[in-house]
Amino acid sequence: MPRRDTPWRRLRYGLLRHLPGQRGLDYGRRLSKLNAPRAQAAFRAALAGAGGKLCVDLGANLGDYTREMAAHAGRVYAFEPDPWTAARLREAVADLPNVEVIEAAAGAEESVVTLYRSPEFAADPDAASQYASTVAEKRNIDTTAGTQVRQIDFARWLADLDREVAVIKMDIEGAEVALLERLFDTPAFARVGHVFVETHENRIPDLARRTQALRRRARRTTRPVVNMDWK
**Ordered per-residue pLDDT tens for the chain, 231 residues:** 445 556 656 555 555 566 666 665 555 565 566 567 888 999 999 999 999 999 999 999 999 999 999 999 999 999 999 999 999 999 999 999 999 999 999 999 999 999 999 999 999 999 999 999 999 999 999 999 999 999 999 999 999 998 999 999 999 999 999 999 999 999 999 999 999 999 999 899 999 999 999 999 999 999 999 999 988
CA–CA gap between residue 53 and residue 218 (Å, rounded): 23
**Cα dihedral 65, 67, 73, 77 sign:** positive
Helix, strand or coil, per DSSP, at residue 60: coil
The CATH code that applies to domain 38-227 is: 3.40.50
What's the number of CA atoms in the CB half-sphere (13 Å) around residue 86? Answer: 16
**Cα dihedral 141, 195, 28, 4 sign:** negative
Close Cβ partners of 230 (under 8 Å, ≥ 6 residues apart): 36, 39, 43, 169, 170, 171, 196, 197, 198
CA–CA gap between residue 229 and residue 99 (Å, rounded): 25
